[in-house]
Structure 1
Amino acid sequence: MTTPPDTRLSMHTPLAVPVAIAGTGLHLPPAVISNQQLTETLDTSDEWIVEHTGIRERRHLSPELAVSDMAVAAAEDAIAASGVRAVDLDAVLIATYTGDQILPSTALMVADRLGARRALPIDITQAACANGLQAMLLAAHLLQSTARTVLVVAADCASRVTDPADRTTRVFFGDAAVAVVLTRGTEPGTGLLSWDFGAELSDSVQIPAGGSRLPASARTVAEGDHYLHMDGRAVWEMATEQLPRSIENAVRRAGSTVDAVDHFFLHQANLRIVTAAMDRIAVSMDRAPVTVDRLGNTGSAGAFTALHTVMSQGRINSGDTFVLSAIGAGFQWGTLYMRHP
């Protein structure tokens, strides 16, 4: 398979400064929404949802809270785990397509509440489920220059942008936040070894209203254009084609093979997509932890929920390699290949 060179961003030379994950944190809203609860208002069944998505439950954020609340909670846990101080953060990157509001910056809100007074706030917003991967790539590059410690938070509250009456989108999505503290590493050959990113313009996943092209109005609300619109078939075809290709490209550029990768933290959109991607690279699902069954598609946070689960359980050993790979609206996709110090 080949891809036109102008659609793909790849690394050709190693980073000069190793990048280390110093700590992670996860925040899940307490409200668990089961498939059975959704069947009370949607024309679907628990059996259909499980068969087609692998999802059994998901979390929904309380109405009085917003993405920044989840982000702060996850960030506080990650900062505590890392041993750094919020005041010493050089940058705070928030990866989300469901920020608190258009202005001001959600990253600035989070940095302010954390007390990260000298941190540069950066919002990564429009790659949807691939936002977190882009934020990690940018953070790694900030650490090559003047930054010493960077906080990345991948968080989404998709329950606010999915139509409660739409069985196509409502069953898929859940709310969550994962935070990662990145620092400069000391061991050569560890951290971010390579990456592969690509894009192909498509409106198969979009929120039509709310921007300058179609400002929010009574008409757009009445027509549901402020909700997420998704062509499930197009997502399936693009995800099952691009995720395996991106993983293979990233690993190959580091001079390795997928067989040698210890952990695969993939976009948790749909269990069938995860399974299909692993099948295409001919690697056992034993190396790809799954969270989508109990959390649903948590957008920017998806692949990071799997990463946090394994790291918090102490299942990443010194020298282990892993990939983070996701695809989001746009379409935009990417893979990071890393080695744990």
Structure 2
Amino acid sequence: MNSYSCISGTGSFFPDKILTNEDLEKMVDTSSDWIVTRTGIQERRIAENETCCEMAAKAAKEALKSANINAADIDGIIMATFTPDTVMPSGACRLQHMLGIKKGFAFDVSAACTGFIYAAGVADSLIKNRMADNILVVGAEKLSSFVDWKDRNTCILFGDGAGAVVMSRSDKPGIRTINMYANGKHADLLKLPALGSNFFSQRDKLNLESELIKMKGNEVFKIAVTAMAEATATAVKKSGFSSEDVDWFIPHQANIRIIDAAAKRIGLSSERVIVTLNKFGNTSAATIPTSLDLAVKDGRIKQGDNIVSAAFGGGLTWGSMSFTL
């Protein structure tokens, strides 16, 4: 009998504090109109009281409830993040303890904004190879801790949040295809030097402000437009779907112009694209699972719908996936 994986439950969490474009106008030299025109973002959430893992735990509990399984049924946790509570132990290990899970594996995947797709790809392989029946896959980021709030080019982009899915063994196809790519040649275009061993090897002369999230936005944008569009088209082709078969496109929520270009590449109208960045900004590895969960909760996405996702992030990394819910 063939073994497949499927998404059996979804969950999400966002902190309460809202940081609007108007708030940012008071902090840096920018304007709300400029931010909206360039990115599509109107506001984002900032975690004042929650850690990254605490947000992950709240999203995970929703996903478990949605999947109608207990924490004890989870065979492993894969957490996509580059902003864990601690470098060691991993966010996944901390999350395992928070959920009261006493068995299985737990590890983090660091692929920036493409992290959820990478984590889902690993989970899909483990399930298909009968190494697990149920895997909790979480994308969680507390980016506000690593943003330079004096850098108007980056502080306007990012928000905090967490999304989770339960991936389970299935006797029929759920996950159709997952495609993962990287090109380290462009690593310095989007980076977070802080917390790396290079950073701490110079601890006697640390300059924290210079080691926060840095991005060469125009160069990243040019590569991202092409990479996201091509990855999206690949996901559709490998899945065997036609454009008419695709019910929804859930892209990484970084920039509305990149999203529009990727949707256009596979011939999808804006009505079939899930967009959440206007309210939540770029939450990196959390954007796809949170967007999926929000669209399931509001009734747009239903069981049996065909979905394509794509993401692009630091590394540089990018990827895509297609699945039937």
For the aligned pair, the TM-score class normalised by the smaller chain equals over 0.9
Which residue matches 2:74? 89
Q: SS where residue 143 of structure 1 aligns?
A: helix
Aligned ranges for residues 324-335 of structure 1 at < 5 Å? 324-335=309-320
Contact 1:30 1:59 (C-alpha < 8 Å) held by counterparts: yes
TM-score, normalisation: structure 1: 0.90
Contact 1:264 1:288 (C-alpha < 8 Å) held by counterparts: yes
Aligned partner (choices 91, 115, 119) of residue 135 of structure 1? 119
For residues 45 and 219 of structure 1, the distance between their equivalents in structure 2, rounded to whole angstroms, comes to 35
Unpaired runs of at least 5, structure 1: 1-14
Aligned partner (choices 276, 283, 287) of residue 298 of structure 1? 283
For residues 254 and 48 of structure 1, the distance between their equivalents in structure 2, rounded to whole angstroms, comes to 38
Aligned ranges for residues 1-341 of structure 1 at < 5 Å? 16-62=2-48, 64-125=49-110, 127-144=111-128, 145-186=130-171, 188=172, 190-201=173-184, 202=186, 203-215=188-200, 217=203, 219-222=205-208, 224-340=209-325
Q: SS where residue 294 of structure 2 aligns?
A: helix
RMSD, aligned CA: 1.6
Cα offset for 1:305?
2.0
Contact 2:11 2:289 (C-alpha < 8 Å) held by counterparts: no
Mean CA deviation greater in 164-173 or 79-88: 79-88
For 2:212, give the aligned amino acid.
Answer: Y
Contact 2:162 2:286 (C-alpha < 8 Å) held by counterparts: yes
List 4+ stretches of structure 1 deviating above 3 A. none
Contact 1:263 1:321 (C-alpha < 8 Å) held by counterparts: yes
For residues 19 and 314 of structure 1, the distance between their equivalents in structure 2, rounded to whole angstroms, comes to 23
1:31-85 deviation per Cα after TM superposition (whole angstroms, max 9, x unaligned): 00111111111001111111111111000001x4310010011111111111111
Q: SS where residue 197 of structure 2 aligns?
A: coil
C-alpha spacing 1:91/1:286, structure 2 compared with 1 (3 Å): same
For 1:193, give the aligned amino acid.
Answer: R
Cα offset for 1:230?
0.4
For residues 246 and 204 of structure 2, the distance between their equivalents in structure 1, rounded to whole angstroms, comes to 51
Unpaired runs of at least 5, structure 2: none
Which residue matches 1:8? none
Q: SS where residue 153 of structure 2 aligns?
A: helix
Cα offset for 1:245?
0.7
> How many residues matched?
321
C-alpha spacing 1:16/1:335, structure 2 compared with 1 (3 Å): farther
C-alpha spacing 1:318/1:88, structure 2 compared with 1 (3 Å): closer
For residues 66 and 239 of structure 2, the distance between their equivalents in structure 1, rounded to whole angstroms, comes to 29
Q: As a proportion of its length, which structure holds more helix?
A: 2
TM-score, normalisation: structure 2: 0.94
Contact 1:88 1:118 (C-alpha < 8 Å) held by counterparts: no
What fraction of aligned residue pairs are identical, expressed as a percent?
34
